[in-house]
């Protein structure tokens, strides 16, 4: 048995998951102890490596719970395309999945997302803001990517989404109800 943390801390592996669609598996984690075989862990690792090899990236999604908002991130963009991994917090898993896949497909054809950039092509009807994820946040949000890269030797960007008025979390007038959905990493 392994202790599992919803954020996927390096020493702790994710074993409880559920399939949302043909290519999206969402991890539904708590701080409880889950029975988990090493074979199940190997299957997840194998799936990540197979997807990166076949498509160029793999997506991880974590459902919202009492510890924090839902989040999703890519694994493999840096290895395949030399581009930072992408993290999104606080939206429906399927929406974040679509956003990251859309961004990754743009990266595949040469688009580079950079810190401070506003982009209208990520979320229909709104600009998104790109911020840097500092390594100190990797352990909390990018556990499987740490495993994949064998440590902290990769870069990550956060895609910040606005409230319905087009404001971002750094704006003092940003919706208070949405503030907790997006941890502000670095812009």
Q: So where are the chain's domains?
A: 2-179
- CA-closest candidate to residue 141, choices 187, 93, 89, 102: 89
CB 145 within 8 A of CB 85: yes
DSSP per position, 49-76: HHHHHHHS-EEEEE--BTTB--EEEEES
Regions in the chain scoring below 70 on pLDDT = 1-42, 184-187
> Which pTM does this prediction carry?
0.80
CB-based burial of residue 10 (10 Å sphere; 0-12 exposed, 13-18 middle, 19+ buried)?
A: middle
The pLDDT of residue 32 is 33
Q: Dump pLDDT digits (tens) for 1-26.
A: 222 344 443 223 333 444 444 444 44
The pLDDT of residue 19 is 44
CB 10 within 8 A of CB 147: yes
The pLDDT of residue 60 is 96
The pLDDT of residue 96 is 97
The pLDDT of residue 41 is 57
Q: Distance between CA 127 and CA 119 in Å, rounded?
A: 5
The pLDDT of residue 6 is 44
* DSSP 8-state symbol, 1: -
């Amino acid at each position: 048995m392994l202790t599992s943390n919803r954020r996927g801390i390096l020493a702790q592996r994710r074993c409880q998951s559920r399939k949302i669609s043909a290519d999206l598996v969402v991890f539904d984690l708590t701080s409880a102890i889950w029975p988990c075989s090493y074979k199940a862990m190997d299957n997840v690792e194998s799936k990540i490596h197979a997807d990166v090899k076949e498509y160029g990236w793999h997506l991880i999604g974590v459902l919202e719970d009492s510890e924090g908002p839902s989040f999703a991130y890519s694994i493999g963009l840096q290895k395949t395309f030399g581009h930072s991994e992408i993290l999104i917090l606080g939206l429906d898993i399927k929406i974040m999945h679509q956003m990251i896949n859309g961004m990754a497909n743009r990266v595949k054809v040469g688009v580079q997302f950079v810190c401070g950039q506003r982009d209208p092509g990520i979320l229909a009807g709104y600009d998104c803001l790109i911020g840097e994820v500092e390594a100190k946040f990797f352990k909390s949000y990018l556990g499987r990517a740490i495993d994949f890269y064998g440590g902290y030797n990769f870069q990550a960007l956060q895609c910040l989404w606005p409230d319905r008025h087009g404001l971002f979390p750094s704006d003092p007038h940003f919706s208070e109800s949405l503030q907790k959905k997006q941890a502000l990493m670095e812009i």
